[in-house]
């Protein structure tokens, strides 16, 4: 089978699917279409990955761009770009910023596929014929210069699996940032960041003036941390660092900045469902909930915004927190 014959077979199938989709949903520009799936993709990435306002999205192999629009809405005010996969796969590592992430929803062979698969036009048109083996995928991304590569598979049938491929470009974006107090106009952005991180938002608007934001020189918010003050105690909450900025000490800097604003000796509490070890490294210790002061226990976080399984922790504010 020649490449021209294969190309025509794939185009014919895609054209038929596009026509059926257009008949069912109207033209692409109609209201509501951006959230739909056209039947030509492997997954709805907007439902599968953690995206934050301010991150830039590059959608590789974006097709008609419906997924790109949905992703762009999640990261606004940053943009989303959609490109043709063949043109960018060779340069995908170059396109990513240091620390940038790659996410691909694809079909992957977990073992060598049957011989007929590679020669059947219909198999190629259904994305089966051209699906890579898992080892090939790993090698391809490694040769491109990417690291932290993971393949998470599901819905496996006859050796072919739906797979979410993630990787990261080595390096870091550089810790050129400043910490500032949140302003009233930041409320929508802060709430979106907390929603993306699946953190509670109850009480945020009330305590927004005591929130701190880490911002890049161009104004993008890359980190958030909140603090609620209760007489002689305080509650640390809502610590989020955007993925590309993690593992560089930015979270530690935000926490230290908050604690430095308190009177030395002030007890500081928090609740966490998965970062107990991290907060231990910052000087917090786990405590029973009955040791939390009554004012903090009456906060929205302790009254149900955080799950009952969350671990209560405490530290004491001093001049050089986390050192």
State residue 236's pLDDT score: 97
Low-confidence ranges of the chain (pLDDT < 50): 27-37, 86, 321-323
Greatest Cα pair distance, the chain, in angstroms, is: 77
* Calculated CA dihedral for residues 101, 104, 110, 116, nearest 10 degrees: -140
- Return d(Cα 232, Cα 264) in angstroms, integer: 11
Instruction: Report how far apart the first and last C-alpha atoms of the chain are (Å, whole number).
Output: 66
Rg of the chain over Cα atoms, rounded to whole angstroms, equals 24
pTM: 0.69
Reference 9, options 116, 121, 86; nearest CA is 121
What is the DSSP code (8-state) at residue 185? G
Q: Express as a percent the part of the chain with pLDDT over 70.
A: 84
Pairing of strands 57-60, 80-83: parallel
Burial class of residue 251, CB neighbours in 10 A (0-12, 13-18, 19+): buried
State residue 2's pLDDT score: 65
- Return d(Cα 203, Cα 194) in angstroms, integer: 12
What is the DSSP code (8-state) at residue 303? I
| pLDDT tens track for 176-208 | 889 999 999 999 999 999 999 999 999 999 999
Cis preceding-peptide flag for 98 (omega within 30 of 0): no
Cβ atoms of residues 200 and 194 within 8 Å: yes
Q: What angle do CA 161, 69, 155 make, to 5 degrees?
A: 10
State residue 283's pLDDT score: 93
State residue 214's pLDDT score: 96
State residue 18's pLDDT score: 64
State residue 168's pLDDT score: 87
């Amino acid at each position: 089978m020649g490449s021209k014959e294969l190309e025509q077979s794939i185009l014919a199938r895609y054209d038929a699917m596009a026509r059926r989709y257009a008949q069912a949903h109207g033209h692409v520009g109609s209201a509501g279409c951006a959230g739909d799936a056209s039947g030509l993709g492997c997954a709805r990435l907007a439902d599968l990955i953690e995206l934050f306002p301010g991150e830039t999205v590059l959608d590789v192999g974006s097709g008609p761009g419906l997924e790109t629009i949905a992703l762009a809405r999640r990261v606004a005010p940053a943009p989303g770009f959609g490109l043709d996969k063949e043109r960018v796969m060779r340069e995908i590592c170059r396109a990513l910023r240091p620390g940038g992430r790659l996410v691909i929803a694809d079909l992957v062979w977990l073992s060598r596929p049957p011989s007929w698969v590679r020669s059947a036009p219909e198999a190629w048109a259904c994305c089966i014929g051209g699906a890579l083996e898992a080892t090939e995928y790993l090698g391809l991304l490694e040769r491109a210069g990417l690291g932290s590569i993971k393949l998470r598979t599901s819905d496996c049938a006859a050796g072919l699996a739906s797979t979410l491929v993630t990787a990261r470009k080595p390096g870091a974006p550089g810790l050129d940032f400043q910490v500032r107090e949140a302003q009233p106009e930041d409320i929508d952005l802060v709430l979106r960041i907390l929603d993306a991180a699946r953190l509670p938002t109850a009480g945020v608007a009330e305590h927004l003036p005591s929130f701190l934001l880490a911002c890049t020189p161009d104004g993008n918010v890359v980190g958030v941390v909140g603090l609620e003050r209760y007489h002689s105690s305080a509650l640390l909450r809502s610590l989020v660092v955007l993925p590309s900025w993690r593992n560089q000490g930015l979270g530690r800097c935000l926490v230290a900045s908050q604690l430095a604003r308190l009177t030395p000796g002030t007890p500081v509490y928090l609740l966490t469902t998965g970062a107990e070890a991290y907060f231990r490294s910052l000087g917090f210790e786990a405590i029973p909930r009955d040791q939390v002061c009554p004012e903090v226990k009456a906060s929205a976080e302790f009254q149900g915004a955080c799950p009952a399984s969350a671990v209560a922790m405490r530290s004491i504010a001093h001049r050089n927190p986390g050192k």
